Structures are given as structure tokens and as C-alpha cells.
Structure 1
Amino acid sequence: MTFISILLISISVFAHVLWNLLSKQQNPTGAFFLLATTAAVLCLLPGFWIFREGFIQISPLVWFFVFITGLFQAIYYIGLAAAYRQGDMSLAYPLVRAIPVLLITICNFIFGRGEQIGEAGLAGILIVAFGCLILPMQEFNSLSIRNYLSKCYLFSVFAAIGTCGYTLVDDEALRQLRHTLQHAFSTTQITLFYILLQTFSTWIALLLFVSVSKTERRQLQKVWFQARRQAVMSGIIITSAYGLVLASMAYVSNVSYVAAFRQLSIPLGAVIAIFAFKEPAQIPKLTGISIVFGGLILVALG
């Protein structure tokens, strides 16, 4: 990895942790992330003009994928907000980052893509699963089903389902989009175009969710008057962080290095949350975080 790639990914790691800290600090709701996504859409508005020729070439199937990914992204944000309201960021953050790896692996086997996973990757996935089992334990001898039925744990799983969903959908959508637009745009431009579509679709899904929920509508007013600055900052940082990840890929010989380096956000986010919010730091939690981190590194490099 080059110095510039390490620098870009490091900034993106800190940015990812930062927007999670900002949102956790506000006891977020769907309304908070609606406002954050609104800010992201406004930042991306020039893209509607830049990629105007791409819109007319999108197939109905890709539009369907864009619609579905917006729903899964909304599930992710709603689940993440609920997990942060119900429990510790030092528990929810590693779970939401790790569980999708397990779910995507299961889906790959279901869809007949299991041969794509190497032995090292499979070992890493099993290590991640073990770490996720340890994370919520108060003590090593306190293994109980109740550890995994807490609202924080369940909403973290809900958010992870959203991440798994949009990851799988985005993969197929980008394949289709690259095939359709390969003569009009470069691969990087197509990816940026898809981020624009995905963000706008997510905004619509969150807007619908907030619109039909009386509680969320009240929360939207509260967020606007009390936390709009934090929400807007989160939205801008979310978009910028992913842009940095995409930019870093141009400076590495293997994108797996990017995926592995990004996992630094797990111990970093958990440790900062423990100190910033004075969250409990039980030995099983710290051990679980370390195990998950190691497993994900193995998955990324395997």
C-alpha cells in the first residue's frame, strides 16, 4: 500500500467513527438519519447534471435494484438508530460491522457462490462468529440466551440485515450498470453515479418511513431544532468517508488491503465510545472486539 492510500483510508476510518459518535450522542432516530441523508443528497445534486445522460440508459432491472437498495439502506439506518438508543455503541458498532460478513457468507452458499470463499476467508468468518457470541457477555461464564435477546443486540442484527441486503443488491446492480454504461462512463464514474442513485433512493425510503410514523414526525421537529447541525455533519461525513474509500482503491494493487485496513474502525470506534460515553468495558466485550477485528482482517486478506 502506498502512503497516499494509507492516508486516505485512515481519514475514512476516523470519519466513519466520527459520524457514528455524532449520531450516538443524539440518541438517533430515523428522523435524524433522514436529515443526514438530505444533507448528503444536497451535496450530490451536481451529479444529477453531470450524469444526466446516464439516467436515460438505466434498465428497468437496475431501477428495481436501486429501489430495493434504498429500502435496505433505510433498514440499516433505522436499526442502527434503535441499537444506539437501546445500548452501548461499543457493543452495537462492532456487531453491525461484523454480522453482515456472516450473513453475506450464508447467502453466497445459498446462491451457489460458496467456492468463491477461500479457506482463510472461511476460517475468518468462523472467528467473527465466535467473537459476536462473546461480545455481549458480562463474564466468560455467563453464557445465556438472554445475552442475545437484548434490544441492542437484536436491533444490531436488524441493522446488519440491512447492510447485508444492500451489499448484495449493490453488487448485482453495479454489474448491470457497468455493462450498460461501459461505453459512456469510466468504472469510477459509474460507481459515483450509483452512489448518487443509492443515496437518493435511501432518502426517499427514509422520507416515507418518517412520514407514516407519528413518533418519527415529532422526532423530525426535535432533530431540526436541537440537532440539525450534528445530523447535517453526519450526512456530509458519511458521503465523504465512502468517497475517500473509493479514491484509495486507485492507489492499491489489491482492494482486499483496503477492506482489511478499514476494519481498524471496529476497535477504534469501540474504544472511543467506551471513553466518550463512559460505557462499561467488560473483559468479554474487549476480547470479542479483538476476535472480531482479527477475523475480519483474515476474511479481507483471505
Structure 2
Amino acid sequence: MFSYVGGFVLLAALLHATWNAMLHGNRDRFLSMTWMCTSTGLVALIALPFLPMPAAPAFPYIIASGLVHIVYSVSLVYAYRSGDLGETYPIARGSSPLLVAVGAALFAREHLGWLPLAGVLLVSGGIISLALERGRVSLGGASAAFLTGATIAVYTVIDGMGVRVSGNAVAYTAWMFAFFLLMPLVFIAVRGVAGLRAPLAAIGQSAGGGMVSIAAYGIVIWAMQFGAMGAVSALRETSVVFAALIGRMFLNERLSFRRIASCCVIALGAICIGA
């Protein structure tokens, strides 16, 4: 995994932590997520005429992933209401690699070797330890974060299987991201059309986060053509290390010795996956 593919996945991890920090830093995260999804969907829609059509067997996966992503977006917003980036983000991301590995084994017949499996366990354990460091994550916040982790696992397995039958990773990604245009409908159902109003600068920042998210997850979908889903997922979730650093540098969150130690465990797990 520590080929150029692994390097791109690590880049995706950095990009993923970046757009999550942008979302968490906004006061109205539901509105920000809606504009992120809107910009993502519009870019995908504009790109579709210039891309080949994915193979027909890929469309059930595209539709399923697009819908699960909407559930993920809503659950992530609710998770961020109850904890800081360094607590909620690790629970959401740390619970997914093991679920992805199990899902890939059950549905795609993928089996990790003992060293990559140890890496997945180390990454997951290190991530969860980050979230439990302070011991004050609320039950509601932890539940929302775990729900987010479950949705991450579901759409990752769906996309890992779908991209392999699509014939073109970029086309698959664009069609899937087009479903993000459903997010404004969810927002309007909850708050009404007037709730979409926001300062132009805030909309621009959210749209920028959407562009970063396209690059982040597009890389992951591309990488799952070449590597086991569980390993790619675990390597991507090293983004919590970047999130901890971003939280410290830009959001004034505490970076304790235990957080640093947990990050080291995560890094060791990444090394095992790449060995």
C-alpha cells in the first residue's frame, strides 16, 4: 500500500481532515454541510457530459452510495453538535475501518493478511483512544458518531464494489456525487427555503470545503480499485492525526500527551498496512 497509491490515500486523509475542520469551525454546521453538498453535486453534474457512462452493473451501487452519503452527512452534523473535532471525529472515523474490513470479507470476499489486519486494529484502537481520552463524550454524541462511522463503512464497501464494475472510477465518482443535490431537499424539509440564506463569504467557504471533499473521497474511490477496502479505509482514517493537529493549530483544541501517543499508534498501524 506504500506505493504511489498509498501516498495518494494519505493525501486524501489530509484533505478529509481539512474539510471536516472547515465544517466543524462553522457555527451553523447543518447549513454549511448543505452548501458543501450542493457545490459538490453541481460540480459533479457539470462534469457528467464530459465523462463516459459507467457500466450498467455499477448503477445500483451508485444509487445506494448516494443515498447513504446523505444519511452520513446528516449524522455527521448532529455528531459535531455535541463534541469538539478531536473527540467526535475520531469516534466516527475509528469505528469504520473494522466494519469495512468485515463488510468487504462478507460481500466482496476480501481477506486481509495478518499484518494488514493488525494495522487495521491498531488504527482503529488508536483512533478510539483519541475520542475517549477525556471521558466526557455524551451518550448522544457518541451514538451519533458511531452511526456516522457505520454509514462510512456502508458507503465505503458499496463504493469499493461499485467502482470495480464501473469501468471508470472518475465517472463512477461523478455520478455518485450528483446525488449530493438531494441534501438541499433534506435541509428545506427541516428548515424551509428561507433557511438556506447565508452570507456570500460563508457560502464560498462551504463550497470550498465541498471541492476539497470531492478530491478527498475521489482519491479513495480510485484507490479501492487497487487495494483491499479495509486497508484503504484504515489508511484513510489516519486523517484523525491531521485532524488533531488542525484542531490544535486553528481551533485552539488541546493536544495532550495521550493524544500524541494515540497518533503514534495510528501511525504504526499505517506502517503495518503498508508493509
Q: With structure 2 as the length reference, what TM-score do the two structures score?
A: 0.79
CA distance in 2, matches of 1:43, 1:121: 35
CA 1:13–1:102 in structure 2 vs 1: closer, same or farther (change >3 Å)? closer
**Cα pair distance change 1:107/1:39, threshold 3 Å:** same
State the identity as a percent. Answer: 20
Distance 1:213-1:260 versus aligned 2 partners, 3 A rule: closer
Name the counterpart of 1:21. Answer: 21
Distance 1:18 1:123, change over 3 A: closer
User: Is the counterpart of residue 269 in structure 1 residue 269 in structure 2?
Assistant: no
Would you say 1:195 and 2:173 are equivalent positions? yes
In the alignment, which residue of structure 2 is the partner of 1:209?
A: 186
Q: CA deviation at 1:69?
A: 0.6
| Cα distance per residue 1:227-268 (max 9 Å; x no partner) | 211111111122234456678x6xxxx758987875553212
Helix, strand or coil at the partner of 1:213: helix
Distance 1:233 1:150, change over 3 A: same
Matches within 5 A, 1:93-112: 93-111=89-107
Q: Distance in 2 between matches of 1:160 and 1:19?
A: 17
Structure 1 residues 260, 117: closer, same or farther in 2, change over 3 A? closer
- Taking structure 1 as reference, are residues 101 and 47 closer, same or farther at Cα in structure 2, changes over 3 Å only? same
Deviation of the 1:148 alpha carbon: 6.2
Give the distance between the partners of 2:195 and 2:103, measured in 1 at CA: 35
**How far is 1:13 from its partner?**
4.5
Do the aligned partners of residues 125 and 264 (structure 1) sit closer, same or farther apart at CA in structure 2, a change above 3 Å counting? closer
- Which residue of 2 is the match for residue 49 of structure 1? 49
Shift of 1:296: 4.1
Structure 1 residue runs without a partner (length 5+): 179-189
Distance 1:138 1:261 in 2: 22
State the secondary structure of the residue aligned to 2:254.
coil
Cα distance per residue 1:166-213 (max 9 Å; x no partner): 1111122223323xxxxxxxxxxx111011111012322x23322321
Contact preservation (8 Å) 2:87, 2:131: yes
| Corresponding residue of 1:280 | 254
> Measured at CA, do residues 276 and 246 of structure 1 come closer, stay the same or move farther in structure 2, by a change above 3 Å?
same
Instruction: Call closer, same or farther: CA 1:122–1:85 in 2, change over 3 Å.
Output: same
Structure 1 residues 134-145: aligned runs within 5 Å? 134-138=129-133
Rounded Cα–Cα distance in structure 2 between residues aligned with 1:5 and 1:89 = 25
Return closer, same or farther for 1:285/1:163 CA change in 2, 3 Å cut-off: same
Residue equivalent to 1:231: 206
CA 127–4 in structure 1, closer or farther in 2 if over 3 Å, else same:
closer
* Aligned mate of 1:72, from 56, 68, 93: 68
Cα distance 1:93–1:297, how it changes in 2: closer, same or farther (>3 A)? Answer: farther
Report if the CA contact (8 A) 2:100-2:233 is conserved. no
How far apart in 2 are the matches of 1:32 and 1:3?
A: 33
**What do residues 136-186 of structure 1 show as CA deviations (whole Å, max 9, x unaligned)?**
3346xx6xxxx56533332221211111111111122223323xxxxxxxx
Distance 1:47 1:27 in 2: 31
Q: Is the 8 A contact 2:235 2:270 kept in 1?
A: no
User: Which residue of structure 2 lines up, in the alignment, with residue 176 of structure 1?
Assistant: 165
TM superposition score normalised by structure 1: 0.73
CA distance in 1: counterparts of 2:219 and 2:269, whole angstroms: 24
The answer to whether the Cα contact below 8 Å between 2:44 and 2:174 also exists between their aligned partners in 1 is: yes
Select the structure of larger CA radius of gyration: 1
CA RMSD in angstroms comes to 3.5
TM-aligned CA distance change 1:3 to 1:176, over 3 Å: closer
For residue 151 of structure 2, what is the aligned residue in structure 1?
162
Q: Offset at 1:278?
A: 1.8
- Cα displacement (A) at 1:72: 1.4
Q: Distance in 2 between matches of 1:4 and 1:172?
A: 18
